[in-house]
Amino acid sequence: MDAMSPGEALGLLAALAALAALPSTSVALVVTRSATAGLAHGVAVTVGIVLGDLAFVVIALLGLSALAEALGGLFTLIKLLGGLYLVWIGITMLRAPAEGSGLGAAPAPTGGLLGSILAGLFLTLADVKAVLFYASLFPLFVDVGRIGFEDLALIVAITAVGVGGVKLGYALAAHRLGRLARDSRIGRIAQRGAGGVLVGVGGYVIVTA
């Protein structure tokens, strides 16, 4: 059984990183949490996103893409719960007073870092089409029909680095921009804007469930 070649591994890493860098709801969530609640929350959201992606990766690689269709009702429920959770976070941010002033004083989201992880996880799991996406992407780089444990472990690592690395970059950039806005009216505006974004993202997830 042939393992992935270095060229195939690098190609997959580049593809995943490029796709992760595209503007999306997950990028918006990472940016808003990092800028308004702190870098730790941006990292936590990234962890949740990566966990959701890895779940889809394993499903796709094991040839279980039909699972999403078979459990359509369950995935719809997950999507609805995820959307409601994001709306709740957004409303909490909209209603919370901007203590002190600016982004640096933004209150920590309800649920702490675990809440941020769950936000990223729910948002990712809401996109059940990701199973089909990964199922169509991986055959370009690896023979899925002959995949072994080593290949599976390598692809999981590549996904974590490719997706997680890019999201962490967004989190760090947003955090630095947030620090620039500390002690200014921009911080309060950004906090309210971030809450509005999360409410909008959550509402979109619910409507499209």
User: What are the pLDDT digits (tens) for 93-141?
Assistant: 777 665 443 434 344 455 688 888 988 998 888 876 676 677 767 766 7
What value does the mean pLDDT take over residues 13-30? 82
* pLDDT score of 1: 45
User: Is residue 200 pLDDT above 90, yes or no?
Assistant: no
* pLDDT score of 18: 78
* Threshold 0.85, pTM exceeds: no
Task: Give residue 169's pLDDT band: very low, low, confident or very high (50, 70, 90).
Answer: very high
Give SS3 for 109: coil
In percent, the amount of the chain with pLDDT more than 70 equals 64
* pLDDT score of 65: 47
Task: Assign residue 63 a region (left: φ > 0; alpha: ψ between -120 and 50; beta: otherwise).
Answer: left
Q: Closest by alpha carbon to 113, among 200, 40, 13? A: 40
As given in the structure block, the two tokens for residue 100 are: 């002190």
* pLDDT score of 105: 39
In percent, the amount of the chain with pLDDT more than 90 equals 15
Contact 35, 103 (CB under 8 A): yes
